[in-house]
Amino acid sequence: MPDIRVIPDEITYRAAISACEKGGEWQLALNLLSLMPAARLMPNEISYNAAISACEKGGLWQLALGLLSLMPEMRVVPNEITYSAVISACETCGQWQLALTLLSLMPEVRLVPDEFTYSAAISAYQKCGQWQLALNLLSVMPEVRVVPNELTYNAAISACETGGQYSIC
């Protein structure tokens, strides 16, 4: 773009990071995110969410978690999508304890977990055969005014299947 005298802006960077995420190019996504401040552009939660999702697709839960912890330093406020993406990264790599910790931290930062966040956490339990915890989390959802959806039920059924609990499913 600079070769043809077009200066990329925040939207251009966000779109490029998102494209990298969709293409599984986590290194490029992180590189673009890191270049933004040098270009005097401030990444926002959309930029970080796309980069975190790229890390999730690359199986890099540590990098996803690192980006989450970096956001306040960069004056970017994480949102529900951010936490869901980091929880998904933990789920992908079997870090179910960390997924549960992140879920429990959300109210402390004034975020309300939604059905997507719960689905990601239940899937984390499924990956490691913790079907009882998955069902417990599913049963808590109505108490916190979150309506389970198809994704949530599918994740819980998969957790039972992984745990060999066919009669419960």
**Distance separating alpha carbons of residues 30 and 118, to the nearest angstrom:** 26
Percent of the chain with pLDDT over 70: 97
Q: Are the C-beta atoms of 25 and 16 separated by less than 8 Å?
A: no
pTM summary value: 0.84
* Tokens coding 12: 């251009």
- Residue of 75, 78, 40 whose CA lies nearest to 51: 78
Give the chain's residues under pLDDT 70: 166-169
Q: Which residue has the tokens 């984390």?
A: 124
Structure confidence at residue 75 (pLDDT) = 93
Q: Could you report the per-residue pLDDT of 85-114, keeping only the tens digit for each?
A: 999 898 887 788 898 899 999 999 999 999
**Distance separating the N- and C-terminal Cα atoms of the chain:** 54
